[in-house]
Amino acid sequence: MTKKNIITEGSIRSLIDRFIAESALNTMQDKTNDPAWDEALVGFASGSDPIWQQYKEYVGPFHWTPWEVFNQNCSDDPANADQLTVISWILPQRPEVRKTNRKSGTYPSEEWARIRVFGEEFNAALRRHVVKTLKDNGYAAIAPMLTPNWTIVKSQRFSYASAWSERHAAHAAGLGTFGLCDGLITPKGKAMRTGSVVAKISIPPTERLYSTHQAWCLFYADGTCGKCIDRCPARAITEAGHDKEKCRQHLVKSREYVKETYQFEGYGCGLCQVGVPCEAGIPVKAAREAFKLGIKPPPPPPLA
């Protein structure tokens, strides 16, 4: 490790913003050469936050805490949990991309499918860029999703689960809550991609301005909405939640459609993320107004 230079919350936000603005990798790889992403939301969580153990107990023993994934992959510079910070970001889908997928009824628009492939390739490059920048400044860091031991696990409770969830990391970092379809509803909505890095650095955690893990979903807040149920072409979403296996099977079918229709190797869907009240913001009025004020609203009353 080199001598440590001072890295702050602001400098991390700036390096992410600069990479989005300047990287040649930020492209949909089509004739327009439009960027995949315009902006990012960034949040931080402490490696010693009790929420990581709660995830482990809820999802399964295979789900990593920041301490576990960091020390498994940075054995030359081990850390205690309280020495670690999880840096999480949201890449909101651009309005033009959301608009095209809003019109889709079974399979994704070409723009959406390109984002799923090439936009996620950029997201992986952003992970590597953040890790490299931190290391160059003297801070050990890893991107859990890019580690060789990251895996998807068959789960009796959840059908499929992974050793590290970017959505759960974003939730821990104050960037959103879960919806009926399992998507993460952020201040910029549910139509997004997300990424994270675990680093041996001290950054103040972002306050979670919600009282429950589903507080920003209209269905869970007051029993209304359920629009994502109607949007799902695979009938994988019901009032009981999200059927991951039905969703997975539809994604498999989408590969053939994308290849035949758009002439590139890709897949996707995302229909439940658009044409819904949570597409581009927080749909629960009280939660939205509280977030703007920087305060945590009280939990909603129990549904009758």
**What are the strands, taking DSSP E only, across the chain?**
41-46, 85-92, 141-142, 152-155, 159-162, 177-178, 184-185, 192-199, 237-238, 241-242
H/E/C letters for each residue in 205-253?
CCCCCCCCCCCCCHHHHHCCCCHHHHHCCCCCEECCEECHHHHHHHHHH
The pLDDT, as a whole number, for residue 258 is 98
Burial 200-227, CB ≥16 within 10 A → b, else e? bbebebbebbbeebbbbbbbbbeeebbb
pLDDT at 4: 86
Residues in the chain where the model's pLDDT stays below 70 = 1-2, 300-304
Which pLDDT score is estimated for 300? 66
DSSP state of 116: I
Distance CA 66, CA 12 (A): 18
Closest C-alpha among 148, 178, 164, 167 to residue 60: 164
User: pTM here?
Assistant: 0.95
Contacts of 291 (CB under 8 A, 6+ apart): 187, 209, 282
- According to the model, what pLDDT value does residue 2 have? 58
Name, in order, each residue with C-beta under 8 angstroms of 37's C-beta and a sequence gap of 6 or more: 20, 26, 91, 92, 94, 119, 122
Residue type, 281: G
Whether the CB-CB separation of 104 and 271 falls below 8 Å is answered with yes
* Cα–Cα distance for residue pair 256/12, rounded to 1 Å: 39
Contact yes or no for 42/12 (Cβ under 8 A): yes
Question: What does the pLDDT read at residue 303?
Answer: 59
Whether 150 contacts 144, CB under 8 Å: yes
Contact 230, 168 (CB under 8 A): no
pLDDT (0 to 100) of residue 301: 66
Per-residue tokens: 105: 């009824």
Distance of CA 81 to the CA centre of its chain: 22
Give tens-digit pLDDT for 140-175. 999 999 999 999 988 777 778 899 999 999 999 999
